[in-house]
Structure 1
């Protein structure tokens, strides 16, 4: 199976453990990654008990970045949740994570204080604003590192919307920033998409960047304005795009 983005971020961090950029990238990718947790018991209702192991006398939850780790083995109960959700679940409990990554022999051990830091820094989540956009411009001035992070985050959102548009914006309150508009978002996906973009910005290492998120439907007049100046990201899941009629010979 292909190496996961989380495995790539972990390898970069292990090569440069003192590099703040590498560490922040690992936290950012971890926060949005889907982790698979083997369970100690069968699921009963909404309560789950993840498998744990002791590392240095400290309990650590066992997690994997891919379901391929369980392929061909004896079926067992598992739970899937994001890295951020796991960090929030374990915050303050003094438990870390032993993370088994695709293509890596040794697991990555994430200490309890690292999980607490991640949960605290993303605890607030995105905030709501009421300002109205008065002018849109081509996106300008965003660091390449942040654009790369956004591109990776948006790739994780494939199938949750048809597209996203990024543009610079002047707001009615006199402030300026950038706007990311999701188009035709699947019901219930607004909050996780907004939270993902908030995490991407918060953990990008870039300061003084304002990036607001909005949700539009196809046919909204604002989309025509965005299409003239914005940068488009396609989010449709290629496996779900309907095939056209067969060609006649």
Structure 2
């Protein structure tokens, strides 16, 4: 089985534990990753109790980056949720996460304060704006860290839209910024896609950056305009039809 993006990010961090860029990348990938949690007993209604282990007298919820971590064992109940959802669920409880990653012998221990930081910094919901774009330009001046983070985040959303276009924009209210336009988004995917971009900006390390998100239907005339100047991210699933963070310990 191919190594997960979370395992790759963890390997990079473990090789460069003092590097804030590697740490931010791990947090960004963790926030969007789907984690599998073994549960204590069968699920009853909406109440679930994940398994925990003690590390340094601190409880840590056990989580895996893929279901392959359970291969060969007896069937057991599990729950699946994103890293961000898990961080928000555990925020303020003094509980960490023991991440079992494919290909790594020992779990990566994510401290409670690290989860609290992640939950706080990604808690904000994307805000709605009423201004109209009056001019579109090629994206300019964006940090490489943001472009790299956007690329990874959009790859995690593969299959939720046909493509996304990034362009600089002049707004009708006189302001300037950048716009990410999703084309052909699946119904119901707008909120998670917008939230994912909000997280990407927050975890890219870029400061004072405005990046707005819009959703365009197939055939919208704006697509032709933005395609002439924008940077395209292909999101189609090839298998289907269409203040730095606290340190880990």
State whether TM-score is above 0.5.
yes
The alpha-carbon deviation at position 109 of structure 1 amounts to 0.2
| 5+ residue gaps, structure 1 | 243-249
Counterpart Cα distance in 2 of 1:26 and 1:235: 22
2:15 pairs with 1:15: yes
Q: Moved runs in structure 1, 4+ residues, more than 4 A?
A: none
2:195 aligns to what SS in structure 1? helix
Corresponding residue for 2:84? Answer: 84
The alpha-carbon deviation at position 94 of structure 1 amounts to 0.8
The aligned length equals 242
The alpha-carbon deviation at position 225 of structure 1 amounts to 0.8
1:179 aligns to what SS in structure 2? strand
TM-score normalised by structure 2 residue count: 0.94
Corresponding residue for 1:219? Answer: 219
| 5+ residue gaps, structure 2 | 243-249
Corresponding residue for 1:245? Answer: none
The alpha-carbon deviation at position 54 of structure 1 amounts to 1.0
Counterpart Cα distance in 1 of 2:240 and 2:128: 32
Counterpart Cα distance in 2 of 1:128 and 1:70: 42
Corresponding residue for 2:239? Answer: 239
2:120 pairs with 1:120: yes
TM-score normalised by structure 1 residue count: 0.94
Over the aligned positions, Cα root-mean-square deviation in angstroms equals 1.1
2:39 pairs with 1:3: no
Corresponding residue for 2:246? Answer: none
Counterpart Cα distance in 2 of 1:84 and 1:222: 33
2:178 aligns to what SS in structure 1? strand
Corresponding residue for 2:137? Answer: 137
